[in-house]
Amino acid sequence: MAQIIRSSPVLAFIGLQICFIFFASTLTCTSGSEDSYTITGRVKIPPSNVIGHTAKFSNVKVILNGGDKITFLRPDGYFTFHKVPAGTHLIEVSAMGYFFSPVRVDVSARHRGKVQATLTETRRSLTEMVLEPLKEEQYYEIREPFNVMNIVKSPMGLMVGFMVVVVFLMPKLMENIDPEEMKQAQEEMRRQGVPSLTSLLPSAGASR
């Protein structure tokens, strides 16, 4: 980015214009020598309603360019990267329980290290370098509360249900059958020697 500007005076002029427009909302203060700048920003973690998710700044790391530099947060949530060369950089925030979008940071060599930041996930550009989590991360599955339907839907629940149906509905069905037909069928069964329920059980057989 910086190189493009340097090579083309027209673009440089536009860049200058943009710089003036955004001057009011300058992101960072810069210092240092000609080619190394400072990126300052702030991590803001909203108070969480999940218990045990209290935002602990001491466990938050801010990472520049995939591990080139790592810094930590001050008690007020501010962080600073010193001695950053001009160019396009990537800042990531690692905090347990939160997902932060990586931030594309353009440090302009021409405008005394003016910094422009864009969230790479949502492509939203930041007017202030305040990094907020995109979403909270819950690492555990939440157990579903006790529910009768869950029990019924489980294989064993279905088995029990089927048994209940057989035990209580079958006699009802039997009753609905015409007694004449019933008797006929029973006789037929006896003739064929089909074992009844009683003869199936060993004790029943012994009692006979």
Instruction: Report the relative pairing of strands 98-99 and 103-107 from DSSP bridges.
Output: unpaired
Which one of 22, 26, 69, 110 is in contact with another protein (CB under 8 A)? Answer: 69
Radius of gyration of the chain (CA): 37
Choose among 23, 14, 41, 34: nearest CA to 114.
23
Which one of 8, 16, 85, 190 is in contact with another protein (CB under 8 A)? Answer: 85
Q: Which residues contact 136 (CB under 8 A, 6 or more apart)?
A: 48, 50, 53, 97, 98, 99
Euclidean distance between CA atoms 80 and 65, whole angstroms:
14
Site pattern 189..208 for another protein (x: CB under 8 A): -------xxx--x--x----
Give yes or no for residue 90 binding another protein (CB under 8 A): yes
Structure tokens at 146: 């006790």
Q: Is 107 helix (H, G, I), strand (E, B) or coil?
A: strand
CA 102 to chain centre: 16
Cα dihedral 65→71→74→80 (10° resolution): -50
Number of shown-chain residues binding another protein (CB under 8 A): 62
Q: In what order do the strands lie in the sheet with 36-43?
A: 78-85, 36-43, 130-131
Give yes or no for residue 75 binding another protein (CB under 8 A): yes
Binders in 8-37 for another protein, by CB under 8 A: none
The residue length of the chain stands at 208
Cβ 24 to another protein, closest distance in Å?
A: 26
Q: By C-beta, is 69 or 112 nearer to another protein?
A: 69
Cβ 183 to another protein, closest distance in Å?
A: 9
Site pattern 91..130 for another protein (x: CB under 8 A): -x-xxxx-x-xx-x-------------x-xx---------
Binding site for another protein (CB under 8 A): 1, 3-4, 38, 57-58, 61, 63, 65-75, 80, 82-85, 87-90, 92, 94-97, 99, 101-102, 104, 118, 120-121, 137-146, 151, 154, 156, 159-160, 163, 167, 196-198, 201, 204
